[in-house]
Amino acid sequence: METHIREHRSLLANVERRLLHAIAHRLPAWVTSDQLTLLGLSSMVAAGLAFATLQMSWLNVVAFILALAANWFGDSLDGTLARVRCQPRPRYGYYVDHVIDLFGTAVLVGGMAASGLMTSQVALALLAAYFLVSAETFLATHTVQVFRLSFAAIGPTELRILLAIGAVAVFIHPVSDIGGTRYLLLDVSGVIAAVGLVAVFLFSSVRNARALYRAEPLPRHDVGRAA
């Protein structure tokens, strides 16, 4: 049994939930949750490789978007399929899914840095900010028993859509002019994303610390009472 509540309030959450259940009910019996998990992992590696070579051809942009779509299919559907078939493995699924997410994100950001469209410093800052948010989310799941999959109506699916749009944008216009200075567009986007992630980390940390402080008040002792 899951010991935490899944809170998913992203913009597309309700539509996505209905779609995933419809797909899960129609998948052939030979398709398993573990196969979908492996698809999610391999497709994120493919996305990282496609982004690393993004500037070479518009076909690599297409390959990147298709890899993101495959990642959505595998990563979003594996848990839904297990629940639909009454085969949940909550601890195994939670652990494996998030280990893969961490690895996949590192590969993807590494692909961005290798592409020459993002400097290594910005890539490291972005990855560090993502890991901060991930670590806080995992701690909150354990202590507050709430696993939040979204923030400000943005969840994993919305992030994939933004990544797809961003890949097209940087392929067409890799450089941005800000105040007369030219910057890599992906660097600008990466800095904004890193700052946003740090803000999410700080907000969530304060919110959850306050909730835990109220849930576990200091014991009151009657110091005036004689021993």
**What string of H, E and C letters represents the secondary structure of the chain?**
CCCCEEECCCCCHHHHHHHHHHHHHHCCCCCCHHHHHHHHHHHHHHHHHHHHCHHHCHHHHHHHHHHHHHHHHHHHHHHHHHHHCCCCCHHHHHHHHHHHHHHHHHHHHHHHHHCCCCCHHHHHHHHHHHHHHHHHHHHHHHHCCEEECCECCECHHHHHHHHHHHHHHHHHCCEEEECCEEEEHHHHHHHHHHHHHHHHHHHHHHHHHHHHHHHCCCCCCCCCCCC
- Taking residues 146-154, report their average pLDDT: 78
Q: What is the pLDDT of residues 47-88, one digit of tens each?
A: 999 999 999 999 999 999 999 999 999 999 998 999 899 988
Q: What is the pLDDT of residue 221?
A: 66
Report which of residues 144 and 58 the model is more confident about.
58
167-187, pLDDT tens digit by residue?
999 999 999 888 888 999 999
Q: Say yes or no to pLDDT of 159 above 60.
A: yes
What pLDDT digit, counting tens, does each position of 29-48 carry?
Answer: 999 999 999 999 999 999 99
What is the pLDDT, as a whole number, of residue 96? 92
2: pLDDT strictly greater than 80:
no
Q: Which domains does the chain have, with CATH numbers?
A: 5-215 (1.20.120.1760)
Q: What is the pLDDT of residues 8-25, one digit of tens each?
A: 778 888 899 999 999 999
